[in-house]
Amino acid sequence: MAAYDKLLDLIKDYFIELGFNPQYVSEYFSNAVFSEIASIRLANANVMIRNKTDRSSHQTHIAITGEMIDFFYPPEVFSKMDTETIEFRDVLVSRDNIKALKNLDVFVKDAFDIPFAEGRLTIGKRTQKQLQLSKKNALNSQCFNELRLGLYENDLLVLLKYRKDKRILAIGIPQTFYLDAFPNYADKYETNTYLRIPMV
């Protein structure tokens, strides 16, 4: 099984656990719908201030390095960017995902339709080799900041790129959930894992 298949299966299991129909979830989170996946295992420095275990760090952006930058920019575009520019990406976030991260009861109204809140997130170049995701929290949409407020150190922030849509789908998966499926997640995946999903 390919590495991206395992991550897609993890996402499917998570939404099935929330109460969505398994067949619908399987068809939605597929290589027919998505073309790229970026999975970020959050360090203490990557989480919002109130969620930090060590509050001596005031950083809240998420540093994106290596080939994961390609998820946001072609290399030739990124190389020419300046470090002052802040850009936006349209993002979708599941309200049920946010509720689950906050340990609130999730009541799925339609098991064959995941409702998403529409918003935006900020990105910007830090250095020639680093991109900042969530560069300006104050300029992010509330739904994306709410998702981040439900995430703690070692939780996963997973970003999916649609094949036929410029928007990004952002999903938060807690460590308690993914370690049940992948007890050795850290051995199989890098902290920042970027994978292209081929059509089959």
Q: Could you give all domains of the chain from N- to C-terminal order, each with its CATH number?
A: 3-196 (2.40.330)
> H-helix or E-strand containing 8?
helix 3-18
DSSP reduced 3-state for 53: coil
Q: Tell me: the pLDDT tens digits for 3-29?
A: 999 999 999 999 999 999 999 999 999
Q: Tell me: the pLDDT tens digits for 56-66?
A: 777 889 999 99
Q: Is the pLDDT of residue 69 over 90?
A: yes
Predicted confidence at residue 179, as pLDDT, reads 93
Average pLDDT over residues 106-122: 96
Rounded Cα distance between 47 and 154, Å, is 10
Q: Tell me: the pLDDT tens digits for 156-190?
A: 999 999 999 999 999 999 999 999 888 888 888 99
Q: Is the pLDDT of residue 200 over 80?
A: no
Average pLDDT over residues 115-128: 95
Q: What is the DSSP letter of 184?
A: T
